[in-house]
Amino acid sequence: MAGQQKGKLIILVLLLTSFGILTVGFMFSASDSKMAVNQPVNFPVLPPDTTMATLKGISLGRTLFKDPGLSADRKVSCSSCHQNENAYSDPGITFSRGNGTVHAARNTPALMNLQWKKSYFADGRAGHLSQTVVNAIQSPVEMASSISIVLARLNQSASYKKQFKKVFGTEDITEERLKRVFTEYLNTLVTSNSRYDTYSRKENLSYSDDEHRGMLIFKEKCTPCHNGELFTDESLRNAGTGTAADQGLGTLTGKPDDMGKFKVPSLRNIALTTPYMHDGRFATLQQVLDHYTGLKNEKGLDSTLYSNGTAGIALSSTEKKQLIAFMNTLTDPIFLKQGNY
């Protein structure tokens, strides 16, 4: 009897082991399959040129995103300044430290919903996501390296050559391949599971009175710029934040009409991405709202920031409190954890 039970136990162990091997084998065989494009039901339709990625490409892009070896001093990675637990921003830091002791000239932007963007950087100077990768590597206030140096390092790495071969079929690591796997990973940074989203999709309507009132105020007074489910219209506007040192798009083009214009940022996960504005001048959302209610008439100020010929958005202290309550519902806890696998 004992021998029969032992025999059954051995057979069970062998079956479980075989199942485990088959499962692992399936995972690896499926790892180069195409990923379905993430299209949240309440989001705008993705651009027609959106391409599908592979699991291996995404994994390699994520590895590179976290690799400080891409910087000149080998101490700064993309994730040094874009931390997933803070919506891929650098919380509490006005100007992030780059290579060596230098600091960036602008506040680090949060990374999210990138494939819906029409341009990149605070002045909108890049038209494709891959250009941000090149900029990060070559900028003297970021990684301070060069594409040629990075490619040489990667091509000397047996591990990276093996990983690139899994993605592309050959070991050659080129600029186009580097940009492609980075882009594949960055395009996975989709945030669409905040309390606002469950409310918008009618999955959970448990807003407090202040949150609901704040949403109504937001729709009335903030949507000329922060509209739609992405909470940005992707435009560049003058919100009265230009300085002598940085006039945004105007610094880039030199055109008088462009002076003081900066990209309208998304407000998703806004509670976690302090400080605010392109130069990180405001530490709290209260200060941001105080800025908009206290605007002065000035040349070039965006027309949406005027009411009956007077600059500024009229908000009472109670309305500001309610607006902040609503903006706090834009935090996506699932998005904050997605980089921890």
Q: Which residue has the tokens 């080998």?
A: 74
Considering the domain architecture, whether residues 103 and 136 belong to the same structural domain is answered as yes
Whether residue 43 is contained in a domain is answered as no
Buried-exposed string 16-26: b where 16+ CB fall within 10 A, e elsewhere: eeeeeeeeeee
**pLDDT above 90 for 50:** no
Considering the domain architecture, whether residues 321 and 239 belong to the same structural domain is answered as yes
Q: How far apart are the C-alpha atoms of 88 and 244, rounded to whole Å?
A: 29
* pLDDT tens per residue, range 95-134: 999 999 999 999 999 999 999 999 999 999 999 999 999 9
Considering the domain architecture, whether residues 70 and 183 belong to the same structural domain is answered as yes
Predicted pLDDT of residue 21 = 33
What is the domain-level CATH number for residue 335?
1.10.760.10
Tell me which residue of 241, 207, 213 sits closest to 225, measured CA to CA. Answer: 241
Predicted pLDDT of residue 341 = 45
pLDDT band at 10 (very low <50, low <70, confident <90, very high): very low
Q: How far apart are the C-alpha atoms of 34 and 57, rounded to whole Å?
A: 10
Considering the domain architecture, whether residues 252 and 157 belong to the same structural domain is answered as no
SS (H, E, C) 266-308: CCCCHHHCCCECCCCCECCHHHHHHHHHCCCCCCCCCHHHEEC
Residue at a domain's end among 190, 216, 235: 190
Whether residue 30 is contained in a domain is answered as no
* pLDDT tens per residue, range 210-241: 999 999 999 999 999 999 999 999 999 999 99
Whether residue 24 is contained in a domain is answered as no
Considering the domain architecture, whether residues 133 and 237 belong to the same structural domain is answered as no
Whether residue 25 is contained in a domain is answered as no
Considering the domain architecture, whether residues 177 and 72 belong to the same structural domain is answered as yes
**pLDDT above 50 for 26:** no
Residue at a domain's end among 190, 207, 233: 190
Residue at a domain's end among 190, 219, 238: 190
Predicted pLDDT of residue 20 = 41
Predicted pLDDT of residue 340 = 53
What letter does residue 59 receive in the DSSP assignment?
H
Q: Write out the residue range of the structural domain in which residue 313 sits.
A: 195-339
Considering the domain architecture, whether residues 163 and 255 belong to the same structural domain is answered as no
**Residue 309, Cβ density class (10 Å: 0-12 exposed, 13-18 middle, ≥19 buried):** exposed
pLDDT band at 338 (very low <50, low <70, confident <90, very high): confident
Question: CA neighbours within 13 Å on the CB side: how many for 29?
Answer: 6
How many angstroms separate the most distant Cα atoms in the chain?
A: 95
Tell me which residue of 210, 253, 201 sits closest to 229, measured CA to CA. Answer: 201
Q: Which residue has the tokens 């029969």?
A: 4
Whether residue 282 is contained in a domain is answered as yes
Considering the domain architecture, whether residues 199 and 80 belong to the same structural domain is answered as no
Question: Does residue 110 come out as left (phi exceeding 0), alpha (psi in the -120 to 50 range) or beta?
Answer: beta
Q: How far apart are the C-alpha atoms of 297 and 315, rounded to whole Å?
A: 17
Whether residue 228 is contained in a domain is answered as yes
Q: How far apart are the C-alpha atoms of 190 and 319, rounded to whole Å?
A: 30
Predicted pLDDT of residue 34 = 81
Angle between helices 175-186 and 147-155 (to 10 degrees): 90
What letter does residue 36 receive in the DSSP assignment?
P
Whether residue 37 is contained in a domain is answered as no
Considering the domain architecture, whether residues 297 and 232 belong to the same structural domain is answered as yes
Considering the domain architecture, whether residues 285 and 179 belong to the same structural domain is answered as no
Q: How far apart are the C-alpha atoms of 309 and 292, rounded to whole Å?
A: 15
Tell me which residue of 224, 228, 225 sits closest to 197, measured CA to CA. Answer: 228
Whether residue 272 is contained in a domain is answered as yes
Kindly state the percentage of the chain with pLDDT values over 90: 85
Considering the domain architecture, whether residues 269 and 218 belong to the same structural domain is answered as yes
pTM of the predicted model as reported, rounded to 2 decimal places: 0.88
Q: Which residue has the tokens 């040192």?
A: 245
**pLDDT above 50 for 13:** no
Considering the domain architecture, whether residues 64 and 126 belong to the same structural domain is answered as yes
Give me the number of domains the chain comprises. 2
pLDDT band at 51 (very low <50, low <70, confident <90, very high): confident
